[in-house]
Structure 1
Amino acid sequence: MMTRRLLAEFLGTGLLVAVVVGSGIAAQRLSPGDTGLQLLQNSTATVLGLAVLILLFGPVSGAHFNPVVSLADWWLGRRSGGGLSGGELVAYVVAQCAGGVGGALLANVMFSVDAGLAATERAGTGLLVGEVVATAGLVLLIFALVRTGRAALCAPAVGAYIGAAYWFTSSTSFANPAVAAGRMFSDTFAGIAPSSVPAFVGAQLAGAAVGVLLVLVLYPAPTPVRI
């Protein structure tokens, strides 16, 4: 039922953003003045939280939690006759973005943070290239696993990738327009100023296009393999 799937996407994306923002606030309070330790705490919580959420909601909606993943699923599905329909894609994206905003607001309430938009500017060519790389790798990883019959590995693999990308990309790997939209509403360690979001989303869409292209080249058809 579509209602159940949309609820799963709303809750999953919301809880993901709550994990990212909440652990960012906790890290900022527990380790003031030590940005490296804050990032370690934030990334560790995100790795674990994301893996759990994929396991929890994957059987219901596929656990996309990310508009670019849903977009890639729709685009790749057009070739194979599977994936999301156009209407389902729009509904997924709306649910994900609403969940992202709700998750940030929930984290603010849990940690008694005043409501308001983030002031942290995240701009520059290096950061945008980091978002392209992070998003392309994420899309490639997910659909490589799906197309080779290893979808069961998505939870640990995606969690591990995002955790690593926190550190090897200059942008700390947002790689998700719904997460970027949510993090606008938290003026904390995890926040992003609204003025920085459009460029981040553009870079994420570009990264998704690169990821889809690589999937089509490396895995042109779903073909289970032995490992």
Structure 2
Amino acid sequence: MTAPIRVLICEDQELVRTGYVTVFSAYPDMAVVGEAADGREAVAAARRLRPDVVVMDIRMPVLDGIEATRLLAGPGVEAPSKVLVVTTFNVDRYVYDALRAGASGFLLKDTPPARLVDGVRTIARGESLLAPAVTRDLIGHFAERLRPADTTSPARDHVVRTLARRELEVLEQLAAGLSNAEIAEKLVISLETVKTYVSRILTKLDLRDRVQAVVLAYQTGLVTPTD
């Protein structure tokens, strides 16, 4: 029998936290191993308990969810945690920062329970949770913040040198918010070929998931919101 997915819940509102516990406990493949009411508790609990997935709110006292995510999954972290940010997107303006800090994806707080559970399963498998439609919303919402300061940066040159022409095209489509099926249709290639290209992009650029690929594309100026 497969071991259940170990989940750490980081949320400052007790009522919401209790709701998460109730939702996850209803599924035999889920196990809530801990709870945290602020960012500092979240970091300490994640390091102590080593959960499979950390469900992280952004707005928390003491240490916010963005900084907590950076400490658990950001650049240079030796054993990064898998963080799923759950937030109120139309109010919270820090989702992009959370993704850049290392989160593997995000969902809205009004997401149906079954979708939340599926999201945790997706993150636990090592996949990212950045739906194409959400990517497009992210681009529109954070257009100004996504503009790179220097489009001739060494990071951009590295990406261009490292990826083959077709891989660059696929990365551009990823950053535009297209799904694998949409990329296949646009570039007139098979779905399996797209998956292969995505896998190569992540390997060559040493990226953990699709989220990091999208963020890198904008940070380096390979893609801009006006594209």
TM-score by length of 2: 0.28
Structure of larger gyration radius: 2
More strand by share: 2
TM-score normalized by the length of structure 1: 0.28
Report 1 or 2 for greater relative contact order, CA contacts < 8 Å, sequence distance ≥ 6.
Answer: 1
